[in-house]
Structure 1
């Protein structure tokens, strides 16, 4: 059984993608947790409804469309974070940076407080403001978003897989009771992004291939999709699936910029024309961690090869910048993922590593590999300057330099990242250029408006429907009104109202949990108790302590509300308001709590016993607990001196030590006023790793001084995420005179590749999602003709025809394989007579029996057997009730009359396969001579030949003399045959 339901991304203008797969045993698999740039929480309603029944989550790409709502769901949807998640290593780590960049960049992603609801509480419970509060005070209030530390914890839970590694899910999680053991998942390369995945899901007869947003061609640093082998032949493991889920994006695009090399040259030409000739700035909006790697790799290597672009002497050359909240982490992380990239990148890295080794052996090699940058690795940024804070970006945009610049900024929608702020600054100057890297048909926002203007001005969508990529159009100077969101911390009455609302919301959650428990149904608190009993994590109990809420009487709730209302805003750093028995720990001067009517853990004092960590060597010893006082003092001193320590992903900094180190550094440096004056005067400083020429100086283009605390801005923004806040908007009027161009760097399949590959894959069922309505219907109509079974491209191949489905959002499709399968039990009499044989660790047995109903089998009479034989055809018929009746079928021993007839016609069956190399090794160990002669022929003692005629088909021939030595020991025909049979299972009826 296979049912498919698109939750998001089917015949829709939105790029968000979420799909639900339902298999046998009630297994539900969620593929992708996507969102779009609107951050509409209403899009997640269906996801919230299905969460309690989801058993597994698979992630395909580290983009907003495929992973944008993952942190929100883990934070705000109950029990979502307990579902096992699988992805590749790059998707997990790059997705972590994407989500951190998202919540640091815009407050809109936090979602409004009064718009969201949980799966256990009705929306109307929160539509009206709670008692004692004002709806006006809560207008614009935001839910506490996931912090960077929480996002780290969510992404650390993701189980990472390698490509082409089949993974049976024997016991992925205790909550599914091992029912995932019937499923095997395998990840294959999808192209498009680093670590992008095509998922193959195997269960019994169902073979499902989920391929959304893939790219069939290689790129500068990314692999191609795994559908085709190196010789252009379809890969067998992905061919002929029972169901193929494929995206229909770009199904009307017939030509993408003429290939990769032409596309790259088109971009470099536009950069030279704008930045060198006109002295303008080129803005390239793209996503945070996905397609940005292709652009970064291309431009970094172009700057290394072309001295005109990279020269910085006397204001020449072009400045190259990458702007994003997590770009510094991106540079560190990508260096550890080279094995996931294209073979060309791997060879480049190996050549550099080999050159360094030879240089070390041969002496000083600086003249050859030193200053020209040849020593730099594929993703060592020697010319690319990283911008990670708002202040740094402002300095770059307002430096007053006439030097041309290229700024790669997040995000591609121009809605929430640094790209929006850069465009506001550049829009009024016609010498600047905005290069759109993705199509934005039907999208709202600034990117959609620019795309529509470019299409109209460039003649896109004519009779031939071919994009005129690379053509620049000049905006006509019309006014654009842009809304800029701001996060404001709640104070005074707004904070009090926020506190009361959160307390009332927690009380309603507790009340609902109590009603569920009183009705006898399992609730979240009981599930958490079960998980905690089997968990060995030290922090698991303390985390679940706040999840189990209880219902107290109205007086106790009112008292808790008052006490929480006067709490410090810093107490909201955890993202929850604690009610219930935990008030004994969190509340001030609270020494009693009414537990009458409470259940489970809420009846007990909230004390958590810390478990001792034990490994294979015994109890884990923490060395820091046994340090002497003088040793701790020495370490503290070292940490204060080493204030410039390199920051590693996932490593937490100590605020006190960072503050002391920053103070000491500022005292030793020059005065801030003098440094500011020099920056304004355009003084020159020494060249850094970001690039430079032989003159040893370069113009100050806005980069922070070494003694400048660049991260202070980012730390302030991170601190705002932990406090109750609201969003306000300011409107900016922008005069649009900038030039706009489009060069396709989306890295997606086009119409030609879809119509060429789909007939080669030959799926039995084809489900089209991930595109707009017109794209989906156009591709679906063509596929019905291409896959109709009439033959493929004159090859003479024929298929049985393929069913094509084009579901809308929320519409369930039954795409089960066209076979009938039932579960049949073996009777005790039949099991006693089975003779098992082992073949490569598997048990094999030949069964000949009589299929009958369970009640007839229990009767054990001949009449019952005869009735069962007469009704066998009826019981096994695939009617509406056939499946239900077949659940009671039993396979029993044959009646004596039928057993004799069956035994006379039964033929021996050989099960398994044998490798000639293994057979040769066994014969050599026995002292025989065994040599390969010709192709696939093994000659033993010069007289007996063994050949393979196919899988499981072994041919043994006597070349003369082997039969004469029958029974005379080794080397005889019979002995060789026995050795062959030892590697197979010989089963026979009777």
Structure 2
């Protein structure tokens, strides 16, 4: 049985799919998404399933796919024990996305109230995810419950590090592919298709089950969608207006910045009057996101690496972009030019979380020259969806927006600031006390170890002192904290003793010279290489408070949609699935016409708010003997021939495993074996009262005791031997392997066929 159970709400943009494989008793959770409003009730179904989850696989660094991950790992210790896998970009960029979103909603940040999460804890939670590379099958041997499972990540397009997951167990292969793009973006390669042939990758063909989304792009090509988007932007700039583009931080933001940075450079080359048009990114973590993206060029399309090599700089070091962390900075003279327009990027693709909501209400909504351009689909319960719907009316420009609220940040002052500082001091004292206790415990352990080997420790101390006193050397130790398991590197030794690296023994004056030379060379150092292992440092920020403000404005700006979401279009969706030839397809709700097409092409299930169930595919093979057709058995070794084999049955271009018993008998006895035909029975016709196919029994209610009575009545000598084996006339044996399988062995003679004929009365298929 394979069971797919939706836990979140795909209609609200919260992807949480639980896949159950009964062969190994595994429950695999794909994504820990949250809706755009971060509604707690969306997580109730997932929380109830936490004790049963065996493995978590993450696909994209977006709110819809990982928004609730850190929150649930913090709140439920049992959930934090579950192993998690994702690509390196999803881990690193997902961490920044989480910090951005949680701050805008008051979950973590330098707030006056006690935070649910600290920034450092979010970083710690994401560091627990195991990174995986594309196209490298990974067998999960280190987890006993998962040792029979193989997972493989493939590029999905749409987002940096975005993943298609292929999961193999002993029977089925399942592909999870939600939000994918076949075409190449400005910075991403396409999914499924091989670049040279344009065909679906062989490893992704003929899966037992494909889990995908029915939402597709309405634009036929990437070139047309990009041209339409830039034309809308240019019209607003020509009218000296401001363009607000809400974005998904860590996902489509990278594509938008590359496209807009190049667009502004081209405009400046054509018209010198546009030199003052600013490209502004209003976000707390967008700068760190671009910094991280610059160290992940190997995850992108090859042209990105070529550009980096030619220009000797990362394409994400955008020359035209200005980063700000507060919407209040938009009032500055530099970012609010007297003539000419400006472009503002802000996180929160549906105007629900992030700074895009505040920027819209304070700077865009009532400005008739400005425009809100949404580049990703908005779900039905969001402000973005409401604005797109209301602007379809003729009198949209006079629409009053009331009843809405947005959050803004304000610095703490007076008594609130004193209260905050006092709390921080208490937390700091508690942390120092904990560190002192840890240090004390370590000293006690070291003292105990020295007491056991006093001579060794004293000799080592004397040697160290002697080196420093006589030669004025400083011994440096650059080792990081040692974690278990730790493998000690083999030291180089010869007849004269142990080799000491010169880097560990430096004179004070040499250290000073090295520091000066390193400082001078720092200007020419390639920062892109250094970025790779950098950890984003937490910036010390002034304490703030979140203030909720009510809205009462008149909608005067333009509201438009330009598809820059980076997902496949319908034509390519159909082409890819026809080449994949999945046995079964499960699709999330979205485009009804896509679901109708899938229903005509495949065995299709639409995943709504109920689980999808289908049984494993079972086949039974009936082998009948005809004396008119002689069999020619191949010799194996020691005069033995193969009488029964275990093989693979191919049906409708889908490979299905068919299990059968195998027996070796002497060639002299096997020569008389004869075969007529092979008859196949599909047990899909056996359905229960609920219309589900059972894992049908190929063996009926056969009991050896009843069979013995039948054989005895026919004159056979039937006796039970060791291990419950029934032996007939000392020539034929019948052994029950399990509830559904029996093994018939013996010499090929009249008794063998008579016993088998009698067994057929109790057996539905053999």
TM range (shorter): 0.5 to 0.7
Give distance in 1, aligned partners of 2:117 and 2:181.
34
Give distance in 1, aligned partners of 2:728 and 2:752.
20
Q: Does 2:13 match 1:194?
A: no
Match of 1:813 among 604, 612, 616: 612
Aligned equivalent of 1:425? 363
Give distance in 1, aligned partners of 2:313 and 2:570.
38
Give distance in 2, aligned partners of 1:425 and 1:575.
44
After superposition, the Cα gap between the structure-2 partners of 1:618 and 1:16, relative to the gap in structure 1 and judged at 3 Å, is farther
Q: Please state how far the C-alpha of 1:62 moved relative to its aligned partner.
A: 0.9
Aligned equivalent of 1:780? 595
Match of 2:283 among 321, 324, 334: 324
After superposition, the Cα gap between the structure-2 partners of 1:625 and 1:56, relative to the gap in structure 1 and judged at 3 Å, is farther
After superposition, the Cα gap between the structure-2 partners of 1:652 and 1:165, relative to the gap in structure 1 and judged at 3 Å, is closer
Give distance in 1, aligned partners of 2:271 and 2:91.
34
Q: Is the 8 A contact 2:726 2:734 kept in 1?
A: no
Give distance in 1, aligned partners of 2:664 and 2:750.
9
After superposition, the Cα gap between the structure-2 partners of 1:610 and 1:91, relative to the gap in structure 1 and judged at 3 Å, is closer
Aligned equivalent of 2:62? 63
Q: Please state how far the C-alpha of 1:289 moved relative to its aligned partner.
A: 1.2
After superposition, the Cα gap between the structure-2 partners of 1:453 and 1:635, relative to the gap in structure 1 and judged at 3 Å, is farther
Aligned equivalent of 2:245? 284
Q: Is the 8 A contact 1:103 1:146 kept in 2?
A: no
Structure with bigger strand share is 2
Q: Is the 8 A contact 1:192 1:746 kept in 2?
A: yes
Q: Please state how far the C-alpha of 1:762 moved relative to its aligned partner.
A: 2.0
Give distance in 2, aligned partners of 1:45 and 1:622.
58
Give the 5 Å matches for 1:49-128: 49-107=48-106
Aligned equivalent of 2:577? 758
Superposed CA deviations along residues 165-217 of structure 1, whole A, max 9, x for unmatched, are 2222222xxxx43x312111111121111221111111122010111011122
Aligned equivalent of 2:228? 266
Q: Is the 8 A contact 1:320 1:384 kept in 2?
A: yes
Q: Is the 8 A contact 2:181 2:191 kept in 1?
A: yes
Give distance in 2, aligned partners of 1:808 and 1:575.
49
Q: Which has the higher contact order (CA 8 A, sep 6+)?
A: 1
Q: Is the 8 A contact 1:474 1:740 kept in 2?
A: no
After superposition, the Cα gap between the structure-2 partners of 1:108 and 1:443, relative to the gap in structure 1 and judged at 3 Å, is farther
State the TM-score, normalizing by the size of structure 2: 0.68
After superposition, the Cα gap between the structure-2 partners of 1:643 and 1:391, relative to the gap in structure 1 and judged at 3 Å, is farther
Aligned equivalent of 2:344? 407
Q: Does 2:488 match 1:615?
A: yes
Give the 5 Å matches for 1:36-435: 36-107=35-106, 143-147=115-119, 149-171=120-142, 176-177=143-144, 179-227=145-193, 230-250=196-216, 255-256=218-219, 258-275=220-237, 277-308=238-269, 311=272, 316-350=275-309, 352=310, 377-389=314-326, 392-395=329-332, 399=336, 401-423=338-360, 424-435=362-373
After superposition, the Cα gap between the structure-2 partners of 1:629 and 1:310, relative to the gap in structure 1 and judged at 3 Å, is farther
Q: Please state how far the C-alpha of 1:816 moved relative to its aligned partner.
A: 3.8
Give the 5 Å matches for 1:793-832: 802=603, 804-809=604-609, 811-819=610-618
Q: Is the 8 A contact 2:704 2:726 kept in 1?
A: no
- Which secondary structure does the structure 2 equivalent of 1:615 belong to? coil
After superposition, the Cα gap between the structure-2 partners of 1:784 and 1:610, relative to the gap in structure 1 and judged at 3 Å, is closer
Q: Please state how far the C-alpha of 1:568 moved relative to its aligned partner.
A: 4.6
Superposed CA deviations along residues 567-605 of structure 1, whole A, max 9, x for unmatched, are 9554457999x9xxx99979xxxxxxxxxxxxxxxxxxx
Give the 5 Å matches for 1:643-658: none
Give distance in 2, aligned partners of 1:636 and 1:866.
91
Q: Please state how far the C-alpha of 1:382 moved relative to its aligned partner.
A: 1.8
Superposed CA deviations along residues 789-844 of structure 1, whole A, max 9, x for unmatched, are xxxxxxxxxxxxx2x222333x33223431279xxxxxxxxxxx999xxxxxxxxx
Q: Is the 8 A contact 1:484 1:731 kept in 2?
A: no
Superposed CA deviations along residues 872-899 of structure 1, whole A, max 9, x for unmatched, are 6xx87xxxxxxxx25xx6879x445589
Match of 2:727 among 836, 839, 863: 863
Q: Does 2:541 match 1:716?
A: yes
- Which secondary structure does the structure 1 equivalent of 2:616 belong to? coil
After superposition, the Cα gap between the structure-2 partners of 1:34 and 1:382, relative to the gap in structure 1 and judged at 3 Å, is same
Aligned equivalent of 2:8? 8
Give distance in 1, aligned partners of 2:331 and 2:513.
40
Q: Is the 8 A contact 2:358 2:406 kept in 1?
A: no
Q: Please state how far the C-alpha of 1:40 moved relative to its aligned partner.
A: 1.6
Q: Is the 8 A contact 2:159 2:188 kept in 1?
A: yes
After superposition, the Cα gap between the structure-2 partners of 1:155 and 1:411, relative to the gap in structure 1 and judged at 3 Å, is same
- Which secondary structure does the structure 1 equivalent of 2:182 belong to? coil
Q: Is the 8 A contact 1:228 1:235 kept in 2?
A: yes
- Which secondary structure does the structure 1 equivalent of 2:7 belong to? strand
- Which secondary structure does the structure 2 equivalent of 1:205 belong to? coil
Q: Please state how far the C-alpha of 1:247 moved relative to its aligned partner.
A: 0.8
Q: Please state how far the C-alpha of 1:34 moved relative to its aligned partner.
A: 0.8
May I ask how many residue pairs the two structures share in their alignment? 615
Give distance in 1, aligned partners of 2:436 and 2:294.
49
After superposition, the Cα gap between the structure-2 partners of 1:60 and 1:895, relative to the gap in structure 1 and judged at 3 Å, is same
Query: Which segments of 5 or more consecutive residues in structure 2 lack a partner in the other structure?
Result: 439-481, 493-499, 621-638, 642-660, 666-698, 706-719, 754-766
Q: Is the 8 A contact 2:59 2:164 kept in 1?
A: yes
Give the 5 Å matches for 1:727-738: 729-738=548-557
After superposition, the Cα gap between the structure-2 partners of 1:651 and 1:199, relative to the gap in structure 1 and judged at 3 Å, is closer
- Which secondary structure does the structure 1 equivalent of 2:332 belong to? helix
Q: Is the 8 A contact 2:640 2:664 kept in 1?
A: no
Q: Please state how far the C-alpha of 1:65 moved relative to its aligned partner.
A: 0.6
Give distance in 2, aligned partners of 1:93 and 1:653.
9
Q: Is the 8 A contact 1:105 1:325 kept in 2?
A: no
Aligned equivalent of 1:133? none
